[in-house]
């Protein structure tokens, strides 16, 4: 990467439908650019407050998100699907825990960065296009194989306490930076929150 390449930080969690929709909008903006754009993914954990010590998700934890919240979220997802011409297998994925996917993705970003973008695309597509459980290690291994990644390394990364600790530190850093929701896009101090349209990405870089 050279200094002349525009860089966009993106705080995101794979289980967030708006992160997927924001990614689709970003790709539409990228198609209008003549210059390259470097995407710098910053992991964010939407399930952290509901994850139990054994790794399961406790849906009884009160996080302020009731049935009315989820119904509104579904409506917003449907609206953005139409706006960005994106088809999705599901509107929300409450039961899915993205931590294994984030561990695998973070490992690839650090160790095999040239293949990270393809793996990132594959994870999003598996969940939102195919309705697969990206919390399942076998699913992630299949995705890794599909994009030519070393499957044994990916399986090891998902079980690696060091990778998980590093991720948790990144989550804390995001919160300390004032990131409260995803997706959040940042370019040279300018911030765009949510699944913003391509025109808003264009304004970020003006």
Question: pLDDT, tens digit, for every residue of 31-51?
Answer: 999 999 999 999 999 987 677
190 DSSP β-pair partners: 187
Instruction: Report whether 86 contacts 78 (CB < 8 A).
Output: no
pLDDT confidence band for 2 (50 / 70 / 90): very low
What pTM value is reported for the model?
Answer: 0.92
User: Between residues 66 and 58, which one has the greater pLDDT?
Assistant: 66
CATH number of the CATH domain containing 58:
3.40.30.10
The predicted pLDDT at position 1 comes to 42
Cis omega (within 30 of 0) on the bond before 123? no
Q: Residue 86 and residue 128: Cα distance in Å, rounded?
A: 10
**Domain range holding 118?**
6-204
Residue 152: inside a domain: yes
Residue 51: inside a domain: yes
Element of type H or E holding 31: none
What total of structural domains would you count in the chain? Answer: 1
Residue 87: inside a domain: yes
Listed in sequence order, the DSSP H helices in 16-160 are 17-30, 67-84, 99-111, 116-128, 137-146, 151-158
Residue 191: inside a domain: yes
Residue 1: inside a domain: no
């Amino acid at each position: 990467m050279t200094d002349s390449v525009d860089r966009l930080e993106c705080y995101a969690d794979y289980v967030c439908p708006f992160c997927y929709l924001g990614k689709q909008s970003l790709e539409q903006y990228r198609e209008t650019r003549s210059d390259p754009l470097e995407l710098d993914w910053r992991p964010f954990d939407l399930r952290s407050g509901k994850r139990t010590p054994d790794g399961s998700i406790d849906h009884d934890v009160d996080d302020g998100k009731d049935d009315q919240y989820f119904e509104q979220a579904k409506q917003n997802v449907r609206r953005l699907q139409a706006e960005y011409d994106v088809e999705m297998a599901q509107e929300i994925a409450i039961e899915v825990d993205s931590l294994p996917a984030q561990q695998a993705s973070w490992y690839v970003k650090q160790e095999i960065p040239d293949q990270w973008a393809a793996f990132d695309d594959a994870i999003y597509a598996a969940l939102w296009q195919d309705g697969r459980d990206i919390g399942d290690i076998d699913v992630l291994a299949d995705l890794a194989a599909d994009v030519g990644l070393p499957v044994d390394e990916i399986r090891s990364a998902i079980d690696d306490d060091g990778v998980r600790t590093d991720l948790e530190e990144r989550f804390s850093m995001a919160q300390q930076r004032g990131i409260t929701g995803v997706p959040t896009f940042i370019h040279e101090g300018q911030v765009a929150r949510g699944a913003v349209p391509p025109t808003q990405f264009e304004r970020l870089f003006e």
